[in-house]
């Protein structure tokens, strides 16, 4: 929901940083992998109850997620780069609830599993819609220039990052935050199914 507004604010900064990174000869895919590795490190830190460190690593990883596209706009986009970006993004988002599940299995495992299930469901609807949109020659720049069709929703990257930050700042409230966000993600999925029914029937 907030990604469009957020991109207007941060894209000029990311584009400048991306141009500098590209000038160093660093490829966009390397930035994508760096972001994923930082997200993996964040999940490990969270699993060991190092929540502030986990938050810092998480934010650094998400910064890389914004920078890889900026670098690609300078060096040239590739289909593989777009593919890698979306695959590792989904992986990165799944790692954080998993880290909380390991941090406190007794209290966090079930809500983390529920949240991951809704992530899985939402990811499937997102990618399936993108496939159908490509088949119907649909295009959009609502979330910037992307390698595939991006549908908007109540739970997008900005909201997910904000929720993860809240979890890191208040780890004792992970379970209720996870349950609430799971409902929001599920609502996003159902709204996309309704949109697909109207668009593709």
Q: What is the pLDDT of residues 111-161, one digit of tens each?
A: 999 999 999 999 999 899 888 888 887 766 655 555 666 666 777 888 999
Q: What share of the chain in percent tops pLDDT 90? A: 63
State the pTM of this model.
0.86
Q: Are 95 and 201 in contact (CB under 8 A)?
A: no
Q: For residues 68 and 57, what is the distance between their CA atoms, to the nearest angstrom?
A: 17
Q: For residues 6 and 42, what is the distance between their CA atoms, to the nearest angstrom?
A: 23
Q: Are 96 and 58 in contact (CB under 8 A)?
A: yes
In this prediction, residue 96 carries a pLDDT of: 98
In this prediction, residue 149 carries a pLDDT of: 61
Domain count, the chain: 1
Q: For residues 201 and 195, what is the distance between their CA atoms, to the nearest angstrom?
A: 10
In this prediction, residue 148 carries a pLDDT of: 60
Q: Average pLDDT, stretch 23-44?
A: 96
Q: What is the mean pLDDT of the chain?
A: 89
In this prediction, residue 140 carries a pLDDT of: 65
Q: Are 86 and 148 in contact (CB under 8 A)?
A: yes
Query: 8-16 long-range contacts, Cβ below 8 Å, gap at least 24?
Result: 10/66, 11/70, 11/144, 14/66, 14/67, 14/69, 14/70, 15/70, 15/73
In CATH, what number is assigned to the domain containing residue 149?
Answer: 1.20.120.1760
Q: Is pLDDT of 6 > 80?
A: no
Other beta carbons within 10 angstroms of residue 108's beta carbon come to 22
Q: Are 32 and 81 in contact (CB under 8 A)?
A: yes
- CA 91 vs. chain centroid, Å, equals 9
Q: Average pLDDT, stretch 172-200?
A: 94
Which tens digits make up the pLDDT trace of 50-81? 999 999 999 999 999 989 989 998 888 898 99
Helix or strand run (H / E) with residue 49 = none
In this prediction, residue 147 carries a pLDDT of: 61
Q: Is pLDDT of 7 > 80?
A: no
Q: Hey, is 176 helix, strand or coil?
A: helix
In this prediction, residue 187 carries a pLDDT of: 93
Q: For residues 143 and 3, what is the distance between their CA atoms, to the nearest angstrom?
A: 7
Listing DSSP states for 102-143 in one string gives: HH-HHHHHHHHHHHHHHHHHHHHHHHHHHHHHHHTT----BT
Q: Hey, is 177 helix, strand or coil?
A: helix
The whole domain housing 47 covers: 3-200
């Amino acid at each position: 929901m907030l990604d469009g507004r957020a991109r207007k604010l941060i894209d000029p900064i990311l584009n400048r940083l991306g141009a500098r990174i590209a000038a160093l000869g660093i490829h966009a895919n390397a930035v994508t992998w760096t972001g994923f590795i930082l997200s993996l490190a964040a999940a490990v830190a969270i699993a060991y109850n190092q929540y502030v460190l986990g938050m810092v690593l998480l934010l650094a990883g998400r910064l890389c997620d914004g920078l890889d596209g900026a670098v690609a706009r300078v060096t040239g986009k590739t289909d593989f780069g777009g593919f890698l970006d979306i695959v590792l993004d989904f992986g990165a988002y799944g790692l954080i609830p998993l880290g909380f599940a390991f941090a406190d299995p007794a209290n966090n495992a079930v809500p983390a599993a529920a949240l991951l299930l809704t992530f899985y469901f939402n990811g499937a609807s997102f990618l399936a819609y993108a496939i159908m949109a490509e088949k119907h020659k649909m295009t959009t720049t609502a979330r910037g220039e992307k390698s595939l069709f991006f549908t908007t929703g109540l739970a997008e990257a900005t909201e997910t990052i904000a929720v993860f930050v809240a979890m890191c700042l208040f780890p004792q409230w992970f379970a209720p935050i996870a349950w609430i966000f799971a409902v929001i993600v599920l609502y996003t999925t159902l709204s996309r199914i309704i949109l697909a029914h109207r668009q593709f029937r």
